[in-house]
Amino acid sequence: MGSSANGFAGDRMSTSNGGGGVDKGVDFANYFCTYAFLYHQKEMLSDRVRMDAYFNSIFKNKTHFLGKTVLDVGTGSGILAIWSAQAGARKVYAVEATKMAEHARELVKANNLQDVVEVIEGSIEDITLPEKVDVIISEWMGYFLLRESMFDSVICARDRWLKPTGVMYPSRARMWLAPIRSGLGDKKMNDYEGSMDDWRYFLNETKNYYGVDMSCLTKPYSEEQKKYYLRTSLWNNLHPNQVIGTAAMIKEMDCLTVTVEEILSVEASISSTITGDDTRLCGFAGWFDVHFQGNKESPAEEEVELTTAPSQDHTTHWGQQVFLLHPPSRVQQGDIVNIDFSMIRSKENHRLMEVELGCEIAPSSSKPLAPFKSKYYIE
Amino acid sequence: MGSSANGFAGDRMSTSNGGGGVDKGVDFANYFCTYAFLYHQKEMLSDRVRMDAYFNSIFKNKTHFLGKTVLDVGTGSGILAIWSAQAGARKVYAVEATKMAEHARELVKANNLQDVVEVIEGSIEDITLPEKVDVIISEWMGYFLLRESMFDSVICARDRWLKPTGVMYPSRARMWLAPIRSGLGDKKMNDYEGSMDDWRYFLNETKNYYGVDMSCLTKPYSEEQKKYYLRTSLWNNLHPNQVIGTAAMIKEMDCLTVTVEEILSVEASISSTITGDDTRLCGFAGWFDVHFQGNKESPAEEEVELTTAPSQDHTTHWGQQVFLLHPPSRVQQGDIVNIDFSMIRSKENHRLMEVELGCEIAPSSSKPLAPFKSKYYIE
């Protein structure tokens, strides 16, 4: 046997929760554990776009925190809870499912906020608070907003612990999709073809040296490799000039009212107008933004936006999710790209996503090209 | 949030089974899944040292297979079961816990052996055979032999299904340790120091821009990084001239009689004589070999050895496990290195290992240097 260090598996597989309901042990092993590493906390704490947005949303809207009770869902190292306390909160409940809770507690103490911030180790679904809260703050966004399905836990917290007049931080979230050009597609196709060349060499060796014909596995092998190289969305921080058409919103949610039911799947039929001149449509990029706006009764004094859109100056650890088309298509300025987008959770792991992208290009000058449809995995 | 693709976690963590007994769901998600990928099967099937050893052990000892019943534990793609059938076995039971069983079944059929080879999907602990077998064949060896703890399942199969006169393939296994020189130690130490420089920069930024003092996390962060860069054993295929002293055997087992109890831990006090002239002792390398010798009643016609020792001509996918010393020590030809070695299973994941290495250098010319002790993680 001899499997390479766990990384190998992690690299390639979407892990299983047994197909049925979520096995908490499996979910912890596959998901939460990552957040128990300070290295990973540091990655998030070093994301200036992320940090500035939350920092400003709190300190430019102090009235939402002054003398109030706050719940931080998934506090990690405790940074949002600490800022909430520094902004004048009366009490902050900082809930964290992993052992990171212990570090959060140390950090709270080192910053002399132990009388305000109470770190609670446990999953939000299991723990109990002594009171309802005025504010729920959480940094719950995964790749392309919904990967990790962590917002389910925030909704659970909201429905159980937020006062009717309460405020959500962030209060609104949106998902975007736009056509892009990229060299990644050619590279991935080369990687795939290279891996199939290796396979054919391997087949010959195995037949000639060891007398076993493995050609019946060529189809499943090629499917496995296709999924890995061509059908898995890619993390990337694109340059804005790689976006070759108008971005379309595919989902908007009010964090105060959205239900789990409403985020189980995302469905949208959208259009994008090509803005680049005579270029290649290589695929689509998905990103998100969230807004800190308070609520109707008490709107934010200063609205703050956190966006993960392609930017020349600011990149985030979220980057964008890229869905590549094989092959790319030539497009012209003014062409209309009609897209049917749907995203559901993976049956094997509810924190991973499966995307179906239907696409039709209507050239401004001639008749529409044949439509095509692709499936992608967000892992 | 936004954790990098599962790989990130896998890269860094030894996953949890809840501390208590093995949670089968977690174990499957963390361990078995890897083997459900044809890509990984191909890696193993492309290891010529591994393939040649099993191929020769079967076809140069056909009397062990001719007209016999065989059990292949963890058949994967089915290669060992197919060879056993090709060598004349009357019946081969090929047991595989993952969905790879389906591919094994196709492969058996494509090679027209479906009347001899019966592929059974299930874990060996759960399944039942209609009869006892003459031969148990299995490729169960993990890094440094025991990583993955898969031999437990082979022992279970042996005690339940092998006839008293039965033969184990392989029949003997040995673990070796030897002093080495390597540039990896310097590189890893640089990586560690670099990551701590990053951390100190991060501390300043977080204090100055965001008003939070995180210095209380410096110690746990440095421990986390030390474990990752300095205390995790490394996979490597060493050149023989990197081995600077005599190799010592730290474990030998007869696969016919060894018990799980006897492989839960490995303890050895050994000595190695430095053979290199005025060189650096940078650490130790661990490897294993297994032998196909039949048993007393019916010894192999031709013994076959599979070794993962450093070799100029042959590398294996197992490579060697390298345990680095920080800092290295200057040693001379004839110096004696006394080593206390102990390896136990990780409490968090019984398929991963924890090693403790005590080491004392007795120079041939002067008095012994101060002894030192290090802990390592095999992940």
B2 and A216: CB-CB below 8 Å?
no
The answer to whether residue B93 sits within a structural domain is yes
- CB burial of B119-135 (b: ≥16 within 10 Å; e: otherwise) equals bbbebbeeeebeeebbb
Cα separation of A212 and B92, whole Å?
16
| Residues A138 and A212 occupy one common structural domain | no
- Angle of helix B48-59 versus helix A184-210 axis, rounded to 10: 20
Q: Does A221 contact B39 at a Cβ distance shorter than 8 Å?
A: yes
CA distance B310 to chain A (A): 16
Nearest CA in chain A to B198: A42
| Least CB–CB distance from B1: residue in A7, A142, A199 | A142
Same domain, A265 and A194: no
Q: Answer yes or no: is B5 within a domain.
A: no
Residue A31 binned pLDDT confidence (cut-offs 50, 70, 90): confident
Tens digit of each residue's pLDDT (9 = 90 or more) over A311-331 = 999 999 999 999 999 999 999
Contacts of A77 in chain B (CB under 8 A): 214, 217
Nearest Cα residue in chain B from A10: B7
Task: Give how far A2 is from chain B: nearest CA, Å.
Answer: 4
- Domain final position from B170, B203, B219: B170
Position A20 pLDDT exceeds 50: no
Do both B193 and B290 map to the same domain? Answer: no
pLDDT level of residue B21 (50, 70, 90 thresholds): low
CA distance B83 to B59: 8
Nearest to B287 by CA among B176, B190, B186, B154: B176
Dihedral through CA A165, CA A169, CA A175, CA A180, nearest 10?
A: 160
**ω into B327 cis (within 30 of 0):** yes
Q: Is B278 left (phi over 0), alpha (psi -120 to 50) or beta?
A: left
| A332 and A358 within one domain | yes
Write out the DSSP string of B293-359.
EE-SSSEEEEEEEEE-S--SS---SS-EEEEEEEEEEEE-TT-EEEEEEEEEE-SS-TTSEEEEEEE
Position A2 in a domain: no
A6 domain-assigned: no
Nearest to B37 among A13, A141, A150 (CB): A13
Q: Quote the DSSP letter at residue B274.
A: B
* pLDDT averaged over every residue in chain A: 93
| Nearest C-alpha in A relative to B225 | A39
pTM: 0.91
Give strand pairing partners of B69: B91
Please list every residue in chain B whose beta carbon sits closer than 8 Å to the beta carbon of residue A15. 6, 29-30, 33
- All residues of chain A having their beta carbon less than 8 Å from the beta carbon of residue B38 are 217, 220-221, 224
| B33: chain A residues, CB-CB within 8 Å | 9, 13, 15-16
User: What was the pLDDT predicted at B15?
Assistant: 34
The domain that holds A244 is classified in CATH as: 2.70.160.11
Residue B4 lies in a domain: no
**b/e per residue B286-322 (b: at least 16 CB within 10 A):** bbbbbbbbbbeeeebeebbebbbbbeeeebbbbbbbb
Residues of chain A found within 8 Å of residue B40, distances taken between Cβ atoms: 3, 8, 12
Give CA–CA dist A71/A74, Å, rounded: 9
Residue of chain B minimizing CA distance to A196: B39
Q: How confident is the model at residue B23 (pLDDT cuts 50, 70, 90)?
A: confident
- Residue A70 sits in which domain range? 11-170
Contacting residues of B for A202, CB less than 8 Å apart: 42, 45-46
Tokens 């694109």, located at residue: A238
Which is it for the CA torsion A137, A139, A144, A150, positive or negative?
negative
**Per-residue pLDDT, B367:** 78
Question: Which of B4, B29, B110 has the CB atom closest to A30's CB atom?
Answer: B29
Give the closest of B39, B42, B211 to A12, CB-based: B39
pLDDT digits (tens, 9 = 90+) for B193-205: 999 999 999 999 9
Nearest chain A Cα to B234, which residue? A5
Lowest-pLDDT choice from A20-24, B31-35, B179-183: A20-24
Read off the tokens for A212: 């076993």
Could you tell me the pLDDT band of residue B9, with boundaries at 50, 70 and 90?
A: very low
The answer to whether residues A355 and A243 belong to one domain is yes
Question: Nearest residue on chain A to B19, judged by CA atoms?
Answer: A25
Residues B244 and B374 in one domain: yes
Q: How far is CA A126 from the centre of its chain?
A: 24
The answer as to whether B6 is a domain residue is no
> Which residues make Cβ contacts (< 8 Å) with residue A307, sequence separation at least 6?
A49, A287, A288, A289
A vs B, Cβ pairs < 8 A, gives 232
> What's the average model confidence in pLDDT over A368-379?
90
Angle between helix B79-86 and B48-59 (nearest 10): 30
Contact between chains at A212 and B79 (C-beta distance less than 8 A): yes
Collapsing DSSP to helix, strand or coil, B25 comes out as helix
Question: From the CB of residue A20, how many other CB atoms can be counted at a distance below 10 Å?
Answer: 7
In a domain, residue A204? The reply is yes
Place of tokens 């007795």: B362
CA distance linking residue A6 with residue B377, whole number of Å: 13
A332 and A365 fall within a common domain: yes
Cβ-Cβ contacts under 8 Å, B29 against chain A: 15-17, 26, 29-30
Just list the catalytic residues of B.
139, 148
Q: How many CA atoms does the CB half-sphere of B314 hold within 13 Å?
A: 14
Residue from A3, A43, A233, A377 whose CB has the most chain B CBs within 10 Å, to mutate: A3
Same domain, B209 and B349: no
Q: Which of A1, A11, A51 sits opposite B210 (nearest CB)?
A: A51
pLDDT band for position A17 (cuts 50, 70, 90): very low
CA B250 to centroid of chain Cα atoms: 14
pLDDT value of position A318: 97
Do residues A129 and A196 both lie within one domain? no
CB contact under 8 A, A111 and B212: yes
Average pLDDT (A21-42) is 82
Task: Please tell me which of the candidates A140, A198, A235 has its beta carbon nearest to residue B1.
Answer: A140
- Going from the C-alpha of A325 to that of each of A230, A251, A344, A354, A375, the distances in angstroms are 8, 22, 20, 16, 10
The ipTM of this complex is: 0.90
Identify residue A306 by its one-letter amino acid code: L
Same domain, A298 and A368: yes
**Candidates B29, B141, B198; nearest CB to A29:** B29
Cβ-defined contact of A10 to B10 (cutoff 8 Å): yes
Pair of tokens at residue A352: 């991973």
CATH code for position A134: 3.40.50.150
Mutate to test the interface with A, among B41, B48, B54, B214 (most CBs of A within 10 A): B214
Pick from A170, A198, A219: which residue ends a domain?
A170
Question: What one-letter code names the amino acid at A247?
Answer: A
With contacts defined as CB-CB under 8 Å, which chain B residues touch A37? 12-13, 224
Rounded Cα gap, residues B335 and B275, in angstroms: 8
Q: What local confidence, expressed as pLDDT, does residue A7 receive?
A: 34
Give chain A's domain count.
3
| B13 has pLDDT over 50 | no
Considering the domain architecture, whether residues B87 and B163 belong to the same structural domain is answered as yes
What is the set of active-site residues of A?
Answer: 139, 148
Q: pLDDT tens digits for A130-179?
A: 999 999 999 999 999 999 999 999 999 999 999 999 999 999 999 999 99
Measured CA to CA, the distance from residue B204 to residue B220 in angstroms comes to 17
Indicate if A207 and A276 belong to the same structural domain. no
- The continuous run of DSSP H or E covering A100 comes out as helix A100-110
Q: B205-243 burial string, b = 16+ CB within 10 Å, else e?
A: ebeeebebebeebeeebeebbebbbbbbbbbbebeeebb
User: Does the beta-carbon distance from A29 to B12 stay under 8 Å?
Assistant: no
Average pLDDT over residues A201-207: 97
Residue A293, in any domain of the structure: yes
